[in-house]
């Protein structure tokens, strides 16, 4: 029986593995790779482990690195896109995780945006302590069950589940997914909106190209904090359908009508031709052009925590 393949909202291709484009990009990378400057990376700070392990009431967001966050809300420890891998393919991690796996508090909920390896590292997920109830995109539950995970619930776009006072809604993104040669787009992709009566509404974008869905998400939710990707966008002729540039990320933030913007998906792995310095320089230039107040952009370091009771 032919398996279902998921698609994007618009006409954007949901399969970036186009052989001719990959070959052209490979040639470009060989010509320009040695010129890339990775000397300026995201700094690490010493995480407040005492707070993270004992906090049961104060909403907080801690950046582990790439798209991995520890979000504490309503007494829940929530992890997004769990990746503590020390390398991705042939490339070593640019900076260590902000909180080591062994130092993590027990995790109650894991949110997965899609199944790409830089967003779902099974070895990391297995080593996390706690009950680890997994909320995953439609089509991914059966694969996670085969891998030995038992508490798994899958959602389609706009579906929601409430756990201990936190409502989790799976929302659209423009992307694609694959883990093997045979499972392209057999599971979906998207972002997550977290709502509660006791803290900010948080939008975790996952991976996405720029699309009209950002405005639709903004119409449906009053978002306080948007965790937005700004990396892996070059070359733009190839990456644009699946990864926003820093400029597009700020445009999406404005479409969302969010209050604060937290950059992510940069500074941990060499996934494309841009560097952390490139991404931050373009982000700041666009912030100035759009006259977005500096305090609205929260630049986290690896291991740094936003504590909302203090804001």
Q: Is residue 16 part of a domain?
A: no
pLDDT of residue 18: 47
Q: Please list, in sequence order, all residues whose beta carbon lies within 8 angstroms of the beta carbon of residue 178, skipping any fewer than 6 positions away.
A: 15, 17, 115, 116, 184, 185
Alpha carbon distance 243, 121 (integer Å): 20
With contact defined as beta carbons under 8 Å apart, do 269 and 93 qualify?
A: yes
Q: β-strands 87-88, 91-92: how paired?
A: antiparallel
Q: Is residue 285 part of a domain?
A: yes
In the three-class reduction of DSSP (H, G, I as helix; E, B as strand; rest coil), residue 154 is classed as strand
Q: Each residue of 231-242: pLDDT tens digit?
A: 999 999 999 999
Structure-block tokens of residue 99: 């909180």
pLDDT of residue 13: 66
Q: Is residue 26 part of a domain?
A: no
Q: Is residue 118 part of a domain?
A: yes
Structural domain harbouring 114: 42-310
Residues of the chain whose pLDDT is less than 70? Answer: 1-2, 11-35, 310-311
Burial grade of 192 (CB within 10 A; 0-12, 13-18, 19 or more): buried
pLDDT of residue 158: 98
| Total domains, the chain | 1
Q: Is residue 224 part of a domain?
A: yes
Could you say which DSSP state residue 2 is in?
Answer: P
Which of 239, 166, 186 lies closest to 209 in space, CA to CA? 239
Q: Where are the alpha helices (DSSP H) in the chain?
A: 19-32, 49-54, 122-127, 141-146, 213-220, 236-239, 246-256, 276-290
Alpha carbon distance 195, 207 (integer Å): 20
Q: Is residue 109 part of a domain?
A: yes
pLDDT of residue 17: 47
Q: Is residue 306 part of a domain?
A: yes
| CATH number of the domain bearing residue 281 | 3.60.15.10
């Amino acid at each position: 029986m032919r398996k279902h393949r998921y698609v994007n909202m618009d006409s954007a291709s949901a399969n970036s593995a186009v052989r001719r484009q990959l070959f052209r990009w490979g040639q470009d990378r060989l010509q320009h790779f040695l010129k890339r400057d990775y000397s300026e990376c995201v700094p690490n700070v010493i995480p407040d482990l005492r707070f993270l392990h004992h906090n049961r009431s104060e909403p907080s967001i801690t950046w582990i690195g790439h798209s991995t966050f520890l979000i504490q809300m309503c007494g829940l420890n929530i992890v997004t896109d769990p990746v503590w891998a020390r390398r991705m393919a042939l490339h070593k991690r640019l900076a260590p995780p902000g909180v080591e796996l062994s130092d993590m508090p027990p995790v109650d909920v894991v949110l997965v945006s899609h199944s790409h390896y830089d967003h779902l590292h099974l070895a990391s997920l297995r080593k996390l302590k706690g009950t680890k109830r997994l909320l995953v995109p439609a089509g991914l539950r059966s694969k996670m069950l085969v891998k030995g995970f038992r508490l798994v619930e899958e959602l389609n776009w706009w579906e929601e589940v409430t756990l201990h006072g936190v409502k989790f809604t799976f929302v659209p993104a423009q992307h694609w997914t694959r883990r093997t040669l045979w499972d392209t787009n057999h599971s979906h992709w998207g972002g997550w909106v977290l709502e509660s009566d006791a803290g900010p509404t948080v939008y975790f974008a996952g991976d996405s190209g720029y699309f009209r869905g950002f405005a639709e998400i903004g119409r449906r939710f009053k978002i306080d904090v948007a965790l937005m990707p700004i990396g892996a966008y070059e070359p733009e002729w190839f990456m644009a359908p699946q990864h926003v540039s820093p400029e597009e990320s700020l445009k999406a933030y404005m479409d969302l009508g969010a209050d604060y913007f937290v950059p992510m998906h940069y500074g941990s792995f060499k996934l494309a031709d841009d560097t952390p310095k490139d991404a931050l320089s373009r982000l700041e230039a666009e912030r100035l052009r759009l006259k977005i107040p500096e305090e609205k952009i929260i630049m986290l370091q690896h291991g740094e925590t936003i504590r909302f009771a203090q804001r």
